[in-house]
């Protein structure tokens, strides 16, 4: 089965403890939870028929995410590689923007940025920083960031009984706006409730104020920059496209049924920087990938699969936490959870994001599978990053197993090869740039660059720090900006 002999058997034993991949892996959940017929976990519907062993590897059965039957149309041609060419915005003359054009500049030294945990840049080219309960903004012309503490979900000290356990990531939005993600505990099963993520509303059976209060925890804040450089809460994200969710101010929950509280922890975020969907934001969570336009969201999609055990007629949907997130040059959305990866083609309409028809429908998967050259499907690959370079080749970075190149050979299987030459297998971040290169952020060996030829590797020694926690690319300025956040602070590379 690849690198780890016997890994599949171990994975099956472990993963059966978790329902639908939603449980925190530090917790033990009753075996068989959320597997009873007629009790879908939010927008997931278990299949009564085990998948055909000869079928597409890792493909959940029809009806996943809401029970919509698949279209009867033709199957897409296998192995087609999406157009990877850049999609520049027409009519915008090149601009260097307001920031220094030094080839490499240490912003932590030049602007006193320090060592934040996350960095983002908005459409107005303001730089945003996250550090625990503090949000910082460095505006063009500022000599140092302005910091604000205690905004939104961080208005209380972090803890399991507070609005959040911790902050996670920050992403820029439109000019003057940013989005801040938070972490919350996984939901637990309550008396009288079959499924962990189900929350009754006032007036419904088994309602309790304590459980209902869980809607307030974690999720995502939209924050606004003020004229004096301070930051205020604009809105805790709650507006959604689902008709049955109208006016229900309860954070991010399942779009097609507001009772399900599944996306509680934000793990990654990415803003679309060009093309038709410029300005859209995607966040990955403990459950899937959610799309946001302004203050309105549609939740969620995930490349899940069904686990059948002990001759069970009903499968348990597996959808582990999702860290890997990338925007392909043509606008496709690239996602990877701990076990599976997928390529989604977003519809122009936000309300169509969660309409799961697998290979068909308004927002189809063009690829959905796992790395069979590395592990069995039930074993974690610990994907942390997913990018597509200008040549069309895909790359995934694992926290334990290095960087892997992949080209699809069908819509549910790929040709995989591990990138040789890196001094470590511990990868935290990847970023494809317009010159065809791939930047690789490691956990313990600094920043590396893979040339467009796909084989030539070199360490970027001008960037200090051994742990590269985040890479953010801003291609709308010339030279482009690559923000590199490490354990030593922020460095910006111009022109890749």
pLDDT tens track, the chain, 496 positions = 333 322 333 233 323 222 233 333 333 232 223 333 333 333 443 323 333 333 333 333 333 333 333 333 333 333 343 343 444 455 567 899 999 999 999 999 999 999 999 999 999 999 999 999 999 999 999 999 999 999 999 999 999 999 999 999 999 999 999 999 999 999 999 999 989 999 999 999 999 999 999 999 999 999 999 999 999 999 999 999 987 888 899 999 999 899 999 999 999 999 999 999 999 999 999 999 999 999 999 999 999 888 988 777 788 888 899 999 999 999 999 999 999 999 999 999 999 999 999 899 999 999 999 999 999 999 999 999 999 999 999 999 999 999 999 999 999 999 999 999 999 999 999 999 999 999 999 999 999 999 999 999 999 999 999 999 999 999 999 999 999 999 999 999 999 9
Provide the residue range defining the domain that includes 287: 7-47+56-494
Q: Is 86 exposed, middle or buried (0-12, 13-18, 19+ CB in 10 A)?
A: exposed
Nearest to 428 by CA among 463, 466, 470: 470
CATH code, domain with 416: 2.130.10.10
- Provide the edge-to-edge strand list for the sheet that holds 489-494: 104-106, 489-494, 481-486, 468-474
How many independent structural domains does the chain possess? 1
**3-class SS of residue 457:** strand
Specify if 433 maps to a domain.
yes
Residue 448 lies in a domain: yes
What is the value of pTM for the model shown? 0.84
- Residue 2 in domain: no
Full DSSP string of 268-303: EEEE--SSTTTT-EEEEESS-EEEEETTEEEEEE--
Give pLDDT, residue 316.
Answer: 86
In a domain, 1, yes or no: no
Residue 90 confidence (pLDDT) = 53
> d(Cα 331, Cα 271) in Å, to the nearest integer?
11
């Amino acid at each position: 089965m690849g690198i780890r002999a016997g890994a599949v058997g171990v994975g099956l034993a472990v993963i059966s403890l978790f329902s639908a991949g939603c449980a925190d892996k530090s917790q033990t959940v009753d075996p068989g939870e959320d597997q009873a017929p007629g009790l879908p976990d939010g927008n997931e519907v278990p299949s009564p028929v085990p998948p055909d062993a000869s079928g597409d590897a890792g493909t959940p059965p029809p009806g996943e995410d809401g029970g919509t039957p698949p279209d009867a149309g033709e199957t897409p041609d296998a192995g087609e590689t999406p157009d990877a060419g850049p999609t520049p915005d027409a009519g915008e003359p090149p601009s260097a923007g307001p920031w220094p054009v030094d080839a490499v500049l240490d912003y932590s030294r030049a602007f006193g940025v320090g060592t934040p945990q996350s960095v983002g840049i908005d459409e107005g080219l303001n730089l945003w920083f996250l550090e625990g309960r503090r949000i910082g903004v460095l505006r063009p012309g500022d000599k140092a960031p302005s910091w604000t503490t205690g905004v939104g979900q961080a208005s209380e000290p972090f803890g399991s009984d507070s609005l959040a356990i911790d902050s996670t990531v920050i992403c820029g939005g439109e000019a003057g706006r940013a989005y801040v993600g938070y972490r919350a505990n996984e939901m637990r099963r309550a008396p009288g409730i079959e499924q962990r993520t189900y929350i009754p509303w006032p007036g419904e059976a088994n309602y309790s104020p304590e459980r209902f209060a869980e809607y307030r925890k974690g999720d995502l804040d939209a924050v606004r920059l003020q004229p004096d450089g301070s930051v205020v809460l604009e809105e805790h994200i709650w507006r959604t496209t689902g008709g049955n969710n109208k006016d229900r101010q309860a954070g991010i929950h399942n779009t097609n049924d507001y009772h399900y509280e599944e996306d509680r922890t934000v793990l990654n975020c990415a803003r679309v920087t060009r093309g038709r969907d410029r300005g859209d934001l995607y966040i990955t969570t403990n459950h899937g990938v959610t799309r946001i336009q302004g203050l309105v969201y549609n939740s969620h999609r995930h490349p899940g699969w069904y686990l059948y055990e002990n001759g069970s007629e009903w499968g348990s949907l597996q959808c582990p936490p999702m860290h890997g997130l990338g925007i392909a040059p043509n606008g496709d959305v690239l996602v990877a959870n701990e076990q599976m990866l997928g390529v989604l083609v977003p519809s122009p309409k936000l309300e169509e994001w969660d309409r799961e028809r697998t290979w068909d429908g308004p927002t189809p998967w063009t690829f959905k599978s796992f790395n069979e050259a590395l592990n069995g499907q039930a074993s974690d690959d610990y994907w942390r990053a997913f990018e597509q370079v200008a040549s069309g080749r895909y790359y995934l970075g694992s926290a334990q197993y290095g960087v892997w190149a992949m080209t699809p050979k069908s819509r549910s299987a790929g040709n995989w090869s591990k990138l040789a030459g890196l001094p470590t297998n511990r990868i935290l971040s990847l970023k494809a740039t317009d010159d065809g290169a791939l930047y690789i952020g490691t956990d313990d060996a600094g920043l590396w660059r893979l040339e467009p030829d796909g084989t030539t590797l070199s360490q970027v020694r001008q960037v200090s720090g051994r742990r590269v926690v985040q890479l953010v690319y801003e291609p709308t300025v010339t030279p482009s900006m690559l923000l590199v956040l490490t354990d030593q602070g922020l460095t910006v590379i111009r022109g890749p």
